[in-house]
Amino acid sequence: MMAGSKSSSTIEDVFGGRSVLVTGHTGFKGAWLCLWLESLGARVTGFSNGIPTSPSGFELMRIGNRTADVRGEITDLEALEATMREAAPSVVFHLAAQAIVREGFRQPQETFATNVMGTVAVLEAARRVPGVGAVVVVTSDKVYDNQGSVWGYRESDPLGGHEPYGTSKAAAEMAVMAYRSAGFHKAAGSPNRPAIAAARAGNVIGGGDWARDRLIPDFVRAIAEGRDQEIRQPSATRPWQHVLEPLGGYLMLAAALLEDAAAAPAAVNFGPGEPSAPNVEEVARAFLDHMKPADTRLIVNEVKDSGEARALRVDSSLAEARLGWRPCWSAMRAIEETARWYEAHLRGEEDMRAISQAQLTRYRAESPVAALR
Protein backbone atom coordinates (compact mmCIF):
# COMPACT_ATOMS: atom_id res chain seq x y z
CA MET A 1 0.00 0.00 0.00
CA MET A 2 2.87 2.39 0.66
CA ALA A 3 4.73 4.07 -2.17
CA GLY A 4 7.53 1.77 -3.24
CA SER A 5 6.01 -1.18 -1.41
CA LYS A 6 5.52 -4.50 -3.18
CA SER A 7 2.13 -4.83 -1.51
CA SER A 8 -0.85 -4.35 -3.82
CA SER A 9 -3.42 -4.51 -1.04
CA THR A 10 -6.39 -2.17 -0.97
CA ILE A 11 -8.13 -0.82 2.09
CA GLU A 12 -10.78 -3.54 1.63
CA ASP A 13 -8.03 -6.13 1.95
CA VAL A 14 -6.74 -4.49 5.12
CA PHE A 15 -9.97 -3.64 6.93
CA GLY A 16 -12.48 -6.20 5.70
CA GLY A 17 -13.50 -8.27 8.75
CA ARG A 18 -10.98 -6.47 11.00
CA SER A 19 -12.00 -5.26 14.46
CA VAL A 20 -11.44 -1.50 14.75
CA LEU A 21 -11.98 0.92 17.64
CA VAL A 22 -12.78 4.58 16.91
CA THR A 23 -12.74 7.05 19.78
CA GLY A 24 -14.86 10.12 19.18
CA HIS A 25 -17.08 8.17 16.77
CA THR A 26 -20.08 10.41 17.45
CA GLY A 27 -18.25 13.51 16.20
CA PHE A 28 -18.12 14.90 12.68
CA LYS A 29 -14.97 13.15 11.47
CA GLY A 30 -15.61 10.09 13.61
CA ALA A 31 -19.01 9.46 12.05
CA TRP A 32 -17.62 9.66 8.51
CA LEU A 33 -14.72 7.36 9.45
CA CYS A 34 -17.16 4.80 10.87
CA LEU A 35 -19.27 5.00 7.69
CA TRP A 36 -16.18 4.31 5.59
CA LEU A 37 -15.00 1.45 7.83
CA GLU A 38 -18.49 -0.08 7.82
CA SER A 39 -18.53 0.02 4.02
CA LEU A 40 -15.21 -1.86 4.00
CA GLY A 41 -16.66 -4.65 6.13
CA ALA A 42 -14.81 -3.78 9.33
CA ARG A 43 -16.27 -4.61 12.73
CA VAL A 44 -16.37 -1.19 14.34
CA THR A 45 -16.63 -0.24 17.99
CA GLY A 46 -16.98 3.41 18.96
CA PHE A 47 -16.09 5.04 22.29
CA SER A 48 -17.43 8.51 23.11
CA ASN A 49 -18.94 10.45 25.98
CA GLY A 50 -22.05 11.36 23.98
CA ILE A 51 -23.39 12.95 20.83
CA PRO A 52 -21.87 16.44 20.74
CA THR A 53 -24.50 18.27 18.68
CA SER A 54 -28.11 18.13 17.61
CA PRO A 55 -28.56 17.54 14.71
CA SER A 56 -25.52 15.33 14.20
CA GLY A 57 -23.99 13.42 11.34
CA PHE A 58 -23.74 10.41 13.65
CA GLU A 59 -27.52 10.23 14.01
CA LEU A 60 -28.44 11.26 10.47
CA MET A 61 -26.07 8.68 8.97
CA ARG A 62 -27.37 6.07 11.44
CA ILE A 63 -23.86 5.09 12.50
CA GLY A 64 -25.12 3.58 15.76
CA ASN A 65 -27.06 0.93 13.82
CA ARG A 66 -23.90 -0.84 12.66
CA THR A 67 -21.20 0.38 15.04
CA ALA A 68 -21.06 -0.88 18.62
CA ASP A 69 -21.76 2.30 20.58
CA VAL A 70 -19.87 2.51 23.89
CA ARG A 71 -20.14 5.60 26.11
CA GLY A 72 -17.46 6.82 28.50
CA GLU A 73 -15.03 9.62 29.23
CA ILE A 74 -11.87 9.57 27.13
CA THR A 75 -9.76 10.13 30.25
CA ASP A 76 -11.22 7.02 31.94
CA LEU A 77 -8.42 4.49 31.53
CA GLU A 78 -10.33 1.61 33.11
CA ALA A 79 -13.31 2.10 30.78
CA LEU A 80 -11.05 2.33 27.74
CA GLU A 81 -9.12 -0.79 28.72
CA ALA A 82 -12.34 -2.73 29.32
CA THR A 83 -13.68 -1.63 25.93
CA MET A 84 -10.48 -2.66 24.17
CA ARG A 85 -10.47 -6.06 25.85
CA GLU A 86 -14.11 -6.62 24.87
CA ALA A 87 -13.80 -5.40 21.27
CA ALA A 88 -10.30 -6.84 20.71
CA PRO A 89 -9.40 -4.28 18.03
CA SER A 90 -6.24 -4.66 15.99
CA VAL A 91 -6.46 -0.96 15.00
CA VAL A 92 -7.41 2.05 17.10
CA PHE A 93 -8.21 5.46 15.59
CA HIS A 94 -8.10 8.09 18.32
CA LEU A 95 -10.26 11.07 17.31
CA ALA A 96 -11.92 12.00 20.61
CA ALA A 97 -10.93 15.56 21.50
CA GLN A 98 -11.97 19.06 22.42
CA ALA A 99 -11.64 20.21 18.82
CA ILE A 100 -12.73 23.86 18.78
CA VAL A 101 -10.02 26.54 18.93
CA ARG A 102 -12.25 29.21 20.50
CA GLU A 103 -13.56 26.75 23.08
CA GLY A 104 -9.96 26.36 24.16
CA PHE A 105 -9.93 30.02 25.16
CA ARG A 106 -13.11 29.55 27.19
CA GLN A 107 -12.17 26.21 28.75
CA PRO A 108 -8.37 25.83 28.68
CA GLN A 109 -8.11 23.34 31.55
CA GLU A 110 -10.76 21.06 30.05
CA THR A 111 -9.07 21.33 26.65
CA PHE A 112 -5.70 20.23 28.02
CA ALA A 113 -7.25 17.46 30.12
CA THR A 114 -9.20 16.01 27.20
CA ASN A 115 -6.59 16.37 24.50
CA VAL A 116 -3.49 15.43 26.47
CA MET A 117 -4.62 13.05 29.19
CA GLY A 118 -7.28 11.55 26.93
CA THR A 119 -4.54 10.65 24.47
CA VAL A 120 -2.40 9.22 27.27
CA ALA A 121 -5.34 7.08 28.44
CA VAL A 122 -5.85 5.66 24.93
CA LEU A 123 -2.15 4.89 24.51
CA GLU A 124 -1.92 3.37 27.98
CA ALA A 125 -4.93 1.13 27.35
CA ALA A 126 -3.42 0.01 24.03
CA ARG A 127 -0.15 -0.77 25.87
CA ARG A 128 -2.03 -2.98 28.30
CA VAL A 129 -4.15 -4.94 25.83
CA PRO A 130 -2.37 -7.55 23.70
CA GLY A 131 -3.61 -7.70 20.14
CA VAL A 132 -3.81 -3.96 19.51
CA GLY A 133 -1.45 -3.69 16.56
CA ALA A 134 -1.69 -0.06 15.48
CA VAL A 135 -2.89 3.25 16.90
CA VAL A 136 -3.44 6.34 14.76
CA VAL A 137 -3.62 9.44 16.96
CA VAL A 138 -5.39 12.26 15.14
CA THR A 139 -3.94 15.61 16.16
CA SER A 140 -4.10 18.79 14.07
CA ASP A 141 -2.30 21.01 11.60
CA LYS A 142 -2.18 23.51 14.47
CA VAL A 143 0.50 21.54 16.35
CA TYR A 144 3.23 23.56 14.65
CA ASP A 145 4.96 26.58 16.16
CA ASN A 146 3.20 28.84 13.68
CA GLN A 147 5.32 31.91 12.97
CA GLY A 148 3.27 32.94 9.93
CA SER A 149 5.47 31.20 7.36
CA VAL A 150 4.37 31.46 3.72
CA TRP A 151 5.67 27.92 3.23
CA GLY A 152 3.77 24.82 4.25
CA TYR A 153 4.88 23.33 7.56
CA ARG A 154 6.61 19.97 7.34
CA GLU A 155 6.73 17.16 9.87
CA SER A 156 10.34 18.07 10.75
CA ASP A 157 9.33 21.61 11.80
CA PRO A 158 9.13 22.32 15.55
CA LEU A 159 5.93 21.74 17.46
CA GLY A 160 4.53 24.54 19.57
CA GLY A 161 1.38 26.54 20.07
CA HIS A 162 0.11 29.97 20.99
CA GLU A 163 -3.35 28.99 22.25
CA PRO A 164 -4.71 26.07 24.31
CA TYR A 165 -6.09 23.95 21.47
CA GLY A 166 -2.95 23.90 19.33
CA THR A 167 -0.66 23.58 22.33
CA SER A 168 -2.69 20.71 23.77
CA LYS A 169 -2.47 18.85 20.48
CA ALA A 170 1.29 19.42 20.34
CA ALA A 171 1.53 18.07 23.89
CA ALA A 172 -0.50 15.02 22.84
CA GLU A 173 2.13 14.36 20.18
CA MET A 174 4.82 14.47 22.86
CA ALA A 175 2.92 11.66 24.58
CA VAL A 176 2.90 9.77 21.29
CA MET A 177 6.69 10.08 21.15
CA ALA A 178 7.01 8.51 24.59
CA TYR A 179 4.72 5.61 23.75
CA ARG A 180 6.61 4.97 20.51
CA SER A 181 9.86 4.55 22.46
CA ALA A 182 11.22 1.02 22.74
CA GLY A 183 13.09 2.06 25.87
CA PHE A 184 9.89 3.13 27.58
CA HIS A 185 8.15 -0.16 26.85
CA LYS A 186 11.15 -2.19 27.98
CA ALA A 187 11.47 -0.27 31.25
CA ALA A 188 7.70 -0.36 31.85
CA GLY A 189 7.39 -4.06 31.06
CA SER A 190 4.59 -3.38 28.58
CA PRO A 191 2.33 -6.36 27.84
CA ASN A 192 1.83 -4.91 24.35
CA ARG A 193 3.71 -2.51 22.09
CA PRO A 194 1.48 -1.26 19.27
CA ALA A 195 2.78 0.72 16.32
CA ILE A 196 1.76 4.35 16.81
CA ALA A 197 1.70 7.40 14.56
CA ALA A 198 0.22 10.90 14.65
CA ALA A 199 -1.94 12.20 11.80
CA ARG A 200 -2.08 15.96 11.28
CA ALA A 201 -4.96 17.58 9.42
CA GLY A 202 -7.39 20.37 10.07
CA ASN A 203 -10.03 22.72 8.71
CA VAL A 204 -11.95 19.90 7.14
CA ILE A 205 -15.42 20.57 5.80
CA GLY A 206 -18.27 18.28 4.84
CA GLY A 207 -21.83 17.36 5.61
CA GLY A 208 -22.87 16.44 9.12
CA ASP A 209 -20.88 19.04 11.05
CA TRP A 210 -22.84 21.23 13.47
CA ALA A 211 -20.04 22.26 15.82
CA ARG A 212 -20.13 25.81 17.14
CA ASP A 213 -17.57 28.37 15.94
CA ARG A 214 -16.88 26.57 12.67
CA LEU A 215 -17.40 28.43 9.43
CA ILE A 216 -19.68 26.10 7.46
CA PRO A 217 -21.84 24.90 10.39
CA ASP A 218 -22.38 28.52 11.47
CA PHE A 219 -23.71 29.33 8.00
CA VAL A 220 -25.87 26.20 7.89
CA ARG A 221 -27.54 27.28 11.14
CA ALA A 222 -28.02 30.80 9.81
CA ILE A 223 -29.62 29.48 6.61
CA ALA A 224 -31.92 27.15 8.56
CA GLU A 225 -32.97 30.04 10.80
CA GLY A 226 -33.28 32.60 7.99
CA ARG A 227 -30.79 35.12 9.38
CA ASP A 228 -27.53 36.77 8.40
CA GLN A 229 -24.16 35.39 9.48
CA GLU A 230 -20.95 37.25 10.18
CA ILE A 231 -17.34 36.19 9.79
CA ARG A 232 -14.56 37.46 12.05
CA GLN A 233 -11.38 36.81 10.03
CA PRO A 234 -12.23 37.30 6.34
CA SER A 235 -8.63 37.27 5.07
CA ALA A 236 -7.39 34.30 7.15
CA THR A 237 -6.30 31.29 5.14
CA ARG A 238 -6.49 27.65 6.16
CA PRO A 239 -5.73 24.30 4.46
CA TRP A 240 -9.41 23.67 3.59
CA GLN A 241 -10.26 20.14 2.45
CA HIS A 242 -13.19 17.75 2.39
CA VAL A 243 -13.44 15.46 5.39
CA LEU A 244 -12.92 12.36 3.24
CA GLU A 245 -9.42 13.51 2.25
CA PRO A 246 -7.68 13.06 5.62
CA LEU A 247 -9.83 10.04 6.49
CA GLY A 248 -8.42 8.18 3.50
CA GLY A 249 -4.98 9.16 4.78
CA TYR A 250 -5.75 7.82 8.26
CA LEU A 251 -6.78 4.48 6.75
CA MET A 252 -3.59 4.30 4.69
CA LEU A 253 -1.45 5.26 7.68
CA ALA A 254 -3.01 2.50 9.80
CA ALA A 255 -2.43 0.00 6.99
CA ALA A 256 1.22 1.08 6.77
CA LEU A 257 1.68 0.65 10.53
CA LEU A 258 0.27 -2.88 10.33
CA GLU A 259 2.35 -3.78 7.29
CA ASP A 260 5.74 -2.38 8.33
CA ALA A 261 5.76 -0.18 11.42
CA ALA A 262 9.46 0.68 11.06
CA ALA A 263 8.93 2.09 7.56
CA ALA A 264 5.78 4.05 8.41
CA PRO A 265 6.12 7.74 9.33
CA ALA A 266 5.89 8.71 13.00
CA ALA A 267 3.82 11.78 12.13
CA VAL A 268 2.36 12.85 8.81
CA ASN A 269 0.45 15.79 7.34
CA PHE A 270 -2.69 15.27 5.27
CA GLY A 271 -3.46 18.56 3.56
CA PRO A 272 -4.77 19.95 0.28
CA GLY A 273 -2.72 19.77 -2.88
CA GLU A 274 -3.43 23.26 -4.16
CA PRO A 275 -0.55 25.78 -4.02
CA SER A 276 -2.76 28.44 -2.42
CA ALA A 277 -5.87 28.22 -0.25
CA PRO A 278 -8.98 30.39 -0.37
CA ASN A 279 -9.47 32.71 2.56
CA VAL A 280 -12.41 32.62 4.95
CA GLU A 281 -14.47 35.14 3.02
CA GLU A 282 -13.94 33.30 -0.27
CA VAL A 283 -15.03 30.00 1.30
CA ALA A 284 -18.11 31.60 2.85
CA ARG A 285 -19.16 33.28 -0.41
CA ALA A 286 -18.62 30.10 -2.42
CA PHE A 287 -20.74 28.12 0.03
CA LEU A 288 -23.54 30.70 -0.12
CA ASP A 289 -23.36 30.72 -3.94
CA HIS A 290 -24.06 26.99 -3.92
CA MET A 291 -26.76 27.12 -1.24
CA LYS A 292 -28.51 30.24 -2.64
CA PRO A 293 -30.35 31.12 0.58
CA ALA A 294 -33.12 33.72 0.32
CA ASP A 295 -32.67 35.21 3.78
CA THR A 296 -29.00 34.86 4.68
CA ARG A 297 -26.34 37.42 3.87
CA LEU A 298 -22.64 37.41 4.64
CA ILE A 299 -21.65 40.11 7.14
CA VAL A 300 -17.93 40.88 7.49
CA ASN A 301 -17.05 41.98 11.02
CA GLU A 302 -13.29 41.63 11.27
CA VAL A 303 -11.80 40.96 14.71
CA LYS A 304 -8.17 42.04 14.88
CA ASP A 305 -7.15 40.28 18.10
CA SER A 306 -9.03 36.98 18.02
CA GLY A 307 -5.98 35.04 19.21
CA GLU A 308 -6.16 32.72 16.19
CA ALA A 309 -3.45 32.39 13.54
CA ARG A 310 -4.18 34.33 10.35
CA ALA A 311 -2.37 31.95 8.00
CA LEU A 312 -1.61 28.26 8.04
CA ARG A 313 -0.34 25.87 5.37
CA VAL A 314 0.98 22.34 5.59
CA ASP A 315 3.15 20.32 3.22
CA SER A 316 1.89 16.81 2.49
CA SER A 317 4.83 15.58 0.43
CA LEU A 318 5.79 13.04 3.12
CA ALA A 319 2.35 11.41 2.89
CA GLU A 320 2.79 11.08 -0.85
CA ALA A 321 6.35 9.77 -0.64
CA ARG A 322 5.90 7.30 2.21
CA LEU A 323 2.24 6.28 1.91
CA GLY A 324 1.33 7.01 -1.69
CA TRP A 325 -1.52 9.26 -0.49
CA ARG A 326 -2.65 12.25 -2.54
CA PRO A 327 -5.65 14.55 -2.21
CA CYS A 328 -8.48 14.27 -4.69
CA TRP A 329 -10.88 17.23 -4.51
CA SER A 330 -10.00 20.92 -4.73
CA ALA A 331 -11.21 23.32 -2.05
CA MET A 332 -14.00 24.55 -4.34
CA ARG A 333 -15.07 20.98 -5.11
CA ALA A 334 -15.08 20.27 -1.37
CA ILE A 335 -17.36 23.28 -0.84
CA GLU A 336 -19.67 22.05 -3.61
CA GLU A 337 -19.94 18.54 -2.17
CA THR A 338 -20.51 19.96 1.31
CA ALA A 339 -23.30 22.20 0.02
CA ARG A 340 -24.93 19.22 -1.73
CA TRP A 341 -25.09 17.35 1.58
CA TYR A 342 -26.63 20.23 3.52
CA GLU A 343 -29.06 21.05 0.70
CA ALA A 344 -30.37 17.48 0.88
CA HIS A 345 -30.77 17.70 4.64
CA LEU A 346 -32.47 21.11 4.63
CA ARG A 347 -34.98 20.06 1.98
CA GLY A 348 -36.02 17.16 4.22
CA GLU A 349 -34.20 14.23 2.61
CA GLU A 350 -34.85 11.31 4.96
CA ASP A 351 -32.06 8.92 4.04
CA MET A 352 -28.92 10.93 4.75
CA ARG A 353 -26.97 7.71 5.15
CA ALA A 354 -27.61 6.93 1.48
CA ILE A 355 -26.65 10.50 0.52
CA SER A 356 -23.43 10.17 2.52
CA GLN A 357 -22.62 6.74 1.14
CA ALA A 358 -23.12 8.02 -2.42
CA GLN A 359 -20.71 10.87 -1.72
CA LEU A 360 -18.15 8.45 -0.31
CA THR A 361 -18.53 6.21 -3.38
CA ARG A 362 -18.09 9.22 -5.66
CA TYR A 363 -14.95 10.32 -3.81
CA ARG A 364 -13.39 6.88 -3.95
CA ALA A 365 -14.14 6.50 -7.66
CA GLU A 366 -12.37 9.77 -8.37
CA SER A 367 -9.40 9.27 -6.03
CA PRO A 368 -5.97 9.21 -7.70
CA VAL A 369 -4.89 6.64 -5.07
CA ALA A 370 -5.47 3.07 -6.25
CA ALA A 371 -5.55 1.68 -2.70
CA LEU A 372 -8.53 3.93 -1.85
CA ARG A 373 -10.51 3.03 -4.94
pLDDT digits (tens, 9 = 90+) for 86-111: 999 999 999 999 989 989 999 999 99
pLDDT of residue 308: 60
Q: How far is CA 189 from CA 119, 183, 185, 276, in A?
A: 20, 10, 6, 48
pLDDT of residue 6: 38
Question: 22 φ, ψ to 5°?
Answer: -120, 115
Residue 5 has pLDDT above 90, yes or no: no
Q: Where are the domains of the chain?
A: 11-204+242-273+310-330+350-372
pLDDT of residue 306: 57
Dist. CA 165–CA 143, nearest whole Å: 9
Q: Measure the N-to-C terminal CA separation of the chain; round to a whole number of Å.
A: 12
Q: Which one-letter DSSP state was computed for residue 97?
A: S
Task: Show the beta-strand stretches assigned E in the chain.
Answer: 19-23, 43-48, 68-71, 91-94, 134-138, 195-200, 204-205, 229-231, 241-242, 267-269, 298-300
pLDDT of residue 305: 62
pTM confidence score: 0.95
CA 83-84-88 angle, 5° bins: 120
Nearest to 242 by CA among 279, 212, 201, 211: 201
By mean pLDDT, which of 111-120, 206-215, 303-312 is the weakest? 303-312
CATH class of 11-204+242-273+310-330+350-372: alpha beta
pLDDT of residue 276: 83
Confidence grade of residue 238 (pLDDT, cut at 50, 70, 90)? confident
Dist. CA 57–CA 207, nearest whole Å: 7
Residue 234 has pLDDT above 50, yes or no: yes
Dist. CA 8–CA 227, nearest whole Å: 51
Confidence grade of residue 8 (pLDDT, cut at 50, 70, 90)? low
pLDDT digits (tens, 9 = 90+) for 281-314: 999 999 999 999 999 999 998 776 655 656 788 9
Dist. CA 16–CA 4, nearest whole Å: 23
pLDDT digits (tens, 9 = 90+) for 315-341: 999 999 999 999 999 999 999 999 999
pLDDT of residue 64: 94
Q: Region 259-281: what's the mean pLDDT?
A: 93
Q: Which residues contact 232 (CB under 8 A, 6 or more apart)?
A: 301, 302, 303, 306
